[in-house]
Structure 1
Amino acid sequence: MRGSLVSNLAALRSVFGNRNFAIYVSANSISLIGFWMQRLAISWLTWELTESEFWVGAVAFAELAPLLLVSPIVGVWADRFDRKLLTILTQSGMMLQAFALYVLIILDVVTVELLFFFALLDGILQAAHQPIRLSIVPNLVARKDIVSASSFTAVLFNVARLVGPALAGIVISLFGTALAVLINAITFIPILLAWSFIRLPANKTNEMSTSISRGISEGVTYIRDIPALGSIFVLQTVMACGVRPVTLMLAAFIGAVYQGGADDLALYTAVLGFGAVAGGMYITLRGRAQGLVSSMLLNALLSIFALIMFAWTQSYTLGLLLIFIVGWSVTLSAVASQTMVQNSIHDKVRGRVLALWAAMTRGATAIGVLIIGVFADFFGLFWPNLVAALICLAVLIWYWRYRQQMQEYFEAEPLTELSE
């Protein structure tokens, strides 16, 4: 066991031996903390203005829905154009959006409709950024480090989910939501400066004349022609639609079930993030593809039962334990899936495939959170989440039959040279 741990830590050190990756992670971690601070601030401000499960779900929907349309288009661009320039443009847009929202909150003119608009605007920018971000990470490391790098960036995202809401809870309690939004805007400065020191290989594509629709179609065809890849796309899309919405509706649970405040929301979000960090680190320290399919399937099953129990309980303490399990299992399953996809696809279609991955998995969450929010206004939070969990269970049982096929495809060596 000690030898395995030493080997895993050596794999992690190897990842940070890649100069570009080390610079990127150091700067991006600051920006991600700001992102989670603003997300909690908007969610809580929405609840304060409306006390409506529907509006909490609608604003979360606005943040994620653009992934369905924008990500596949930008994914084609990510395979054609300078990924570094595209990243700088989208991150600059997100910074300006945060500054504008801060001004509106300070002027005390913000309404739930304006929050919806700014959530939609940020969602469009995030949707454009997502496929570029996913495509860039494998270009920052040597081929042998793809598994560890891909999973570590997911861990970083969830470390920020732990730290950001905790800081936001303190900031909102003492100074209000405006400062949390302003901090998010400021945190984009380090990553924008960091791109001056990061060098990326040129995109290896000669398909500049291909239309966007054809580019998207080629990505769909690539996924469809590989049954194991198609299976993991469908399974994770359903899981994202049925299980992940609970992580975006914590404000409704805190307000409606526990009658809590912003500090309670920050605590629950931080515990969710802590579980996510633990699950993500498990995958990162493994540093290999073998066993990822089993980890994905078993933790998908665990997340379904944890969701049912969380939606059912009214115990504050048990709720904290269950949301930790949700964070662990959802993230471990999702990170394992994303790592397998990253590790198995050709670089020439990477942007398109990962854009469709973002659109289907995160976009499905947008649809799920809107549907659950609508029904929760009529039936409460338990019944919509129970139905969603049971649908996920049925789909998981169906795809369990294909686990050997997925193991044979995904637990092999990476296909292409990326940054060497």
Structure 2
Amino acid sequence: MTLRLAVRGGLNQIGATLRETTFGRYVAGNAISLVGNWMQRTAVGWLAWDLTGSVAWLGIVAFSDLFPTLIMGPIGGVLADRHDRVRQIFACQTALLLVAVALWLLTAADMVGIAGLLAITTLHGLIVGLNQPARLALVPSLVAPDRLRTAIAINSIVFNTARFIGPAVAGLLIATAGLDWTFFANALSYLPFLVALTTLRPIGEQRSKSRASFIGQLAEGLRFVAAEPSMRLLFALVIAAALLLRPLGELLPALADGVFARGATGLATLSAALGAGAVAGGIVMAMRREALGVDGMTAWFGALAVLLLLLSAAPAFWTALPLVGACGFCLIASGVAAQTLMQERSPPDLRGRVMSLFGITFRAGPAVGALILGFLADLIGLRPALALGALTFVAAALALRHHATRTPSGP
């Protein structure tokens, strides 16, 4: 009975937040757009694998898409704190729509090679770097203050769930319709979000009142993160996980085809398992009433590391499948916990800059990790590379937590 009441209360809380008209429209459009974005990333990875057959090239392509966030993310964060976040998002989404159309046309005409693919993915990464901080920082201004935590959780769930639903849909489209139609579907996914953005009316003041220069405002965000011991620990753990655990999604094509020889159908199946686990994890996290602190987030990361160790030793495809699903659950649970902590611990006038740093870790981190693990996999195999990444994270997390407990002002 207690469990039933808790579930009912959690669902009511989610429903009430989504019924706030402005936020509900934003979530609906954003969800479709994000699913399309992850569809494109999966299709790009498969195209790179099809063109080269190299795990290292998978890492290079992921790197070219995500690493530009390091350059443009902080700039996008300052812009998000200084200017209209809705207009910033609209401009970036329009540019991303044009990139998707270009990919569709080039693929349909069979005119894209690995060099052209790298150029397009780099451009995509630069635009996303400007876009992501505004998207993350906008959410608190779309709901009443008493619904902020639930809204943050819902937005985190949408982002992380799309990360796995998109690849699952892409895998099915690649296997049945082809890469060009997958890119076309992504282009269409931008339209509902663009329409939704034209109707948004954010609540409250969004812009920074700082009179510092552009560079000065950028430095303000960095100083805030560096000066807070709890934020330092939070960022260190998130960076370690992004580098060593989260590249699983980028390396799924190699796992499906290179390890288990299952081709595009295997990729679709593994992606679906990852997505199903993510949806389950998102529902569980959304229904939580109590806050999940750094210790809770670390526990989810630790569970993910253990699952990756088991996955690296999986003897057969059907043994790996439930492990991949469980990884999806832990990935979204840890992602929700991390983003919620970042949003809640950031002052409103610094939120764009702080979330730009968070976006860097969650986008560029897996890119760097996929690059490193990809080259390592070409040398020693994907299984040992995954195991080494998981063990390295466990060692890093233990060291960070030990250091934090010895710091009087730590969390």
TM-score interval, normalised by the smaller of the two chains: over 0.9
Structure 2: state its 5+ residue gaps: none
Q: Tell me what 1:41 maps to.
A: 43
8 A Cα contact 1:16 1:22, kept in partner: yes
Instruction: Give yes or no for contact 2:175–2:264 (8 Å, CA) kept in 1.
Output: yes
Change (3 A) 1:62 1:389: same
Q: Deviations over 1:353-380 (max 9, x none)?
A: 1111111333222111111111211211
Query: In structure 2, what is the Cα distance between the partners aligned to 1:171 and 1:280?
Result: 24
User: Given the alignment of the two structures, is residue 205 of structure 1 paired with residue 208 of structure 2, yes or no?
Assistant: yes
CA distance in 1, matches of 2:59, 2:96: 21
Secondary structure of 1:197's counterpart equals coil
Letter in 2 for 1:342: Q
Would the aligned equivalents of 1:161 and 1:269 in 2 still touch at CA under 8 Å? Answer: no
Alpha-carbon displacement from aligned partner over 1:140-175 (angstroms, at most 9, x marks no partner): 111222221112122223443444333323322232
1:418 maps to what in 2? Answer: none
| Mapped partners of 1:384, 1:162: distance in 2 | 22
Q: Partners in 2 of 1:158 and 1:356 — Cα distance?
A: 17
* Alpha-carbon distance between aligned partners in 2 of 1:166 and 1:337, rounded to the nearest angstrom: 24
- Which residue of the partner structure matches residue 189 of structure 1? 191
Partner of 1:299: 300
- Specify the SS of the correspondent of 1:248: coil
After superposing the two structures, state which structure 1 stretch, 236-245 or 170-179, moved more.
170-179
How far apart, in 2, do the equivalents of 1:368 and 1:158 lie? 18
- Shifted more, 81-90 versus 63-72: the winner is 63-72
Q: CA deviation at 1:45?
A: 1.2
Contact 1:258 1:314 in 2 (8 A): no
Which residue matches 1:359?
360
Kept in 1: contact 2:273–2:324 (CA 8 A) = yes
Match of 2:263 in 1: 261
Aligned length: 407
Deviations, residues 179-216 of structure 1 (Å, cap 9, x unaligned): 11011111111111111211114424222x52232222
Match of 1:317 in 2: 318
| Identical counterparts, % of pairs | 33
Amino acid in structure 2 at the alignment position of 1:153: N
Contact 1:71 1:128 in 2 (8 A): yes
Q: For 1:16-415, list aligned pairs within 5 A.
A: 16-200=18-202, 201-207=204-210, 209-289=211-291, 291-401=292-402
Specify the SS of the correspondent of 1:286: coil
CA–CA distance in structure 2, aligned partners of residues 87 and 178 of structure 1: 26
Provide the rounded CA distance (Å) in 2 between the counterparts of 1:218 and 1:116: 33
Whether the 8 Å contact between 1:79 and 1:351 is mirrored in structure 2 is yes
Q: 1:167 to 1:239 in 2, by over 3 A?
A: closer
**Offset of residue 401 of structure 1:** 4.1
Q: 2:141 touches 2:206 (CA, 8 Å); kept in 1? A: no
Counterpart secondary structure, 1:310? helix
For 1:81 and 1:180, the matched residues in 2 are separated by 34
Instruction: Find the residue that maps to 1:74 and give its secondary structure.
Output: helix
Distance in structure 2 (CA, Å) of the matches to 1:17 and 1:171: 32
Contact between 1:268 and 1:320, CA under 8 Å: does it hold in 2?
A: yes
State the AA in 2 paired with 1:101: L
Q: Secondary structure at the match of 2:158?
A: helix
**Deviates most, 70-79 or 145-154:** 145-154
**Is contact 1:148-1:288 (8 Å) kept?**
no
Q: TM-score, normalised by structure 1?
A: 0.92
* Matched residue type, 1:205: S
Kept after mapping to 1: 8 A contact 2:377/2:385: yes
Separation of aligned partners in 1, 2:101 and 2:403 = 48
The separation in 2 between residues aligned to 1:216 and 1:361, in whole angstroms, is 19
- Pair 305,53 (structure 1): closer, same or farther in 2 beyond 3 Å: same
**Residue 309 of structure 2 contacts residue 386 of structure 2 at CA under 8 Å; is this kept in 1?**
yes
Q: For 1:49 and 1:5, how far apart are their aligned partners in 2?
A: 47
Judge conservation of contact 1:152–1:281 (CA < 8 Å) in 2. Answer: no
* Distance apart, 1:337 and its partner CA: 1.4
Q: Deviations over 1:240-290 (max 9, x none)?
A: 10011121110111121011121211111121122122222222111331x
CA shift, 1:390, in A, is 1.7
Q: Which has the larger displacement, 292-301 or 339-348?
A: 292-301
Q: AA paired with 1:400?
A: R
**Partner deviation per Cα, 1:33-90 (whole Å, 9 max, x = no partner):** 2222212211111111111001111111111101111101110110000000000011
- The answer to which of 145-154 and 178-187 deviates more is 145-154
Partners of 1:204 and 1:34 lie apart in 2 by: 30
CA contact (8 A) 1:68 1:359 kept: yes
Structure 1 Cα separation of the partners of residues 158 and 246 of structure 2: 18
How far is the alpha carbon of 1:402 from its aligned partner?
Answer: 7.0
> How far did 1:103 drift?
0.9
The Cα RMSD (Å) is 2.0
Cα distance in 2 between the residues matched to 1:402 and 1:332: 25
Alignment of 1:1-16 (within 5 A): 1=2, 2-16=4-18
Where in structure 1 are there 5+ consecutive unaligned residues? Answer: 411-420
